[in-house]
Chains A and B, each alone.
Chain A
Amino acid sequence: AQRVTQPEKLLSVFKGAPVELKCNYSYSGSPELFWYVQYSRQRLQLLLRHISRESIKGFTADLNKGETSFHLKKPFAQEEDSAMYYCALSVKAAGNKLTFGGGTRVLVKP
C-alpha cells in the first residue's frame, strides 16, 4: 500500500526566509504527487502537482524518484503563506483517490 510521510508537524519561519516542507512517499510504481493547501477558514485546495512542473505562488516541488521525495520549497516566505500543507499521492490502479500525509502547519512570522 502507498504511504505519504510529512515529518514536520510545524514549521515556523520569519517573513523573507526560505521554507522547505518535506514529503516522502512509499510506492513501488509511478505515482502522481501533489501538494494541497488549506488556509485558515478555507477549503482544501490544490497548490501544485508534479506533472505540471510549474511554480505556484512562488512554490516549487521536484519529484525525486531515487529518494522517493517531493519536497515543497519557497525561497522567500510571506505571511500569507501561513497555512496547513498536505502532500498527497495518487495511483492509477486505485482510481484517482488521494493518499495524504499528516500535514505540516506553516507559520510565517513578521
Chain B
Amino acid sequence: GAGVSQSPSNKVTEKGKDVELRCDPISGHTALYWYRQSLGQGLEFLIYFQGNSAPDKSGLPSDRFSAERTGGSVSTLTIQRTQQEDSAVYLCASSWGQSSGNTIYFGEGSWLTVV
C-alpha cells in the first residue's frame, strides 16, 4: 500500500470490554512500532517488532496490553478489560529496519474512546 494503514480509525467501547487495533505496515518494512498519543501525555512508546527477533515490550503500560505480528507483516494491538485511561490515539509506524538512517512512517492512528 501507499502508507501505513490502521483500522478502525475510530472505536468507542464500554469500560471492561476488549478491543483489537490493526496495523498494516508499508510492504517490505521489517520494523513495526506502536505508540500511544494521549492528551497532555505526548507520544508514548508501547512495543516494537523487528523481523523475527523478540519484540521490545518495554513500553506496554500493563499486562492488559499485548501485541502480535503475524507473518512479519500485519500487527494487532489488543487491550483487555479497557479502562477510561486507555482512551487515546494509538499510532502504528513502520520502517525498513533498525538502522537509524531509516525513516519511520506513521499511520493515521486509531482513536479509542472508553466510556
Contacts and interface: CB of A to CB of B under 8 A. Distances in A.
The reply to whether chain A is a binding partner of chain B is yes
A97 B56 contact: yes
Contacts of B44: 100
Interface string A76-110: 00000000001010101011111111110000000
B63 to A, nearest CB: 20
A99 B59 CA distance: 11
A30 B104 CA distance: 19
Interface in B1-58: 3-4, 31, 33, 35, 41-45, 48, 50, 56
Contacts of B101: 51
Interface of A is mostly: strand
Contacts, number: 56
Interface residues of B, number: 29
Given A45-B106, A46-B103, A90-B100, A98 B45 contact: yes
Interface string B87-115: 00001010101111111111111000000
B48 A95 contact: yes
A43 interface: yes
B95 A96 contact: yes
Contacts of B41: 102
B42, B98, B107 pick with most chain A CB within 10 angstroms: B42
A11 interface: no
Interface of A: 32, 43-46, 51, 86, 88, 90, 92, 94-103
Given A97-B48, A98-B33, 15 more contacts: A43-B106, A43-B107, A44-B43, A51-B101, A92-B100, A95-B56, A96-B50, A96-B95, A96-B97, A96-B102, A96-B104, A98-B104, A100-B43, A100-B44, A102-B41
Interface of B: 3-4, 31, 33, 35, 41-45, 48, 50, 56, 91, 93, 95, 97-109
The 7 tightest CB contacts between A and B, nearest first, are A100-B43, A102-B42, A44-B106, A32-B100, A96-B98, A95-B98, A97-B48
